[in-house]
Amino acid sequence: MAGTSPWADAVPAEWWERLAARLIEALLFGIVYYILFIALWAVFRTVGMMDAFGGRLPGVFAWAVAGLGYTGYDWWAHWRHGRTFGQAIMRIRLAPPGVGARALLKRSLVYPGPVMLMGIPVVNLVAGMLLFGVGMLILIDKPLERGPHDRLAGTRVVKDLR
């Protein structure tokens, strides 16, 4: 059919491929979080702020900075390369290519954006439920397996068969 995108017939990535890609990235960003936490713990202890907020301040800041970094990386990688390093390892990518930066920013703020809130007590439960819900919606959306972040941006994650 003339005028259709070559990505229209692309094979959607399996849920486990998407999960594996996120777990690969979570490993790296988890390391970043722990380095930030240790550094912030040392700084807050030195300046006498460890007792503020029940000693949770280093964790809150570390989650916020690591989560913001992960969200920013997710946006940048999809905007520049069409996939993150975890997706590259799993040989999956975002389709269609050339999605605008604003749409991709919305996508990244919905998922993995809530990771920024994971250090805040009680709010972390809501953020965790949101992230879990996104994963569940990917599972039940057949046949394209799109989450709300994909629908918001008009994207889908497909197998990279090149």
Question: What are the tens digits of pLDDT across the range 81-140?
Answer: 999 999 999 999 999 999 999 999 999 999 999 999 998 889 999 999 999 999 999 999
89 lies in some domain: yes
In a domain, 8, yes or no: no
pLDDT at 2: 46
Instruction: List the one residue out of 150, 146, 70 whose CA is nearest residue 110.
Output: 150
Count of structural domains within the chain: 1
Q: Is residue 120 part of a domain?
A: yes
pTM greater than 0.75: yes
152: confidence class by pLDDT, cuts 50, 70, 90: very high
**101 lies in some domain:** yes
What is the pLDDT, as a whole number, of residue 7?
Answer: 60
- Give the residue ranges of DSSP H helices in the chain: 15-46, 57-81, 85-90, 101-110, 123-140, 148-153
Is residue 3 in some structural domain?
A: no
d(CA 133, CA 130) in angstroms, rounded, equals 5
Task: Let me know if residue 153 belongs to a domain.
Answer: yes
Spell out the residues 6+ positions from residue 65 whose beta carbon is closer than 8 angstroms to its own: 36
For residue 44, CA distances in Å to 58, 64, 94, 110 come to 7, 16, 40, 31
- Would residue 79 count as lying in a domain? yes
Instruction: Yes or no: say if 49 and 57 are a contact pair by the CB < 8 Å rule.
Output: yes
- Give kind and range of the element (H or E) at residue 159: strand 156-159
Task: Determine the Cα–Cα distance for residues 23 and 161; give it in Å rounded to an integer.
Answer: 22
Does residue 104 lie in a domain region?
A: yes
pLDDT of residue 8: 66
Domain with 147, as residue range(s), is: 15-159
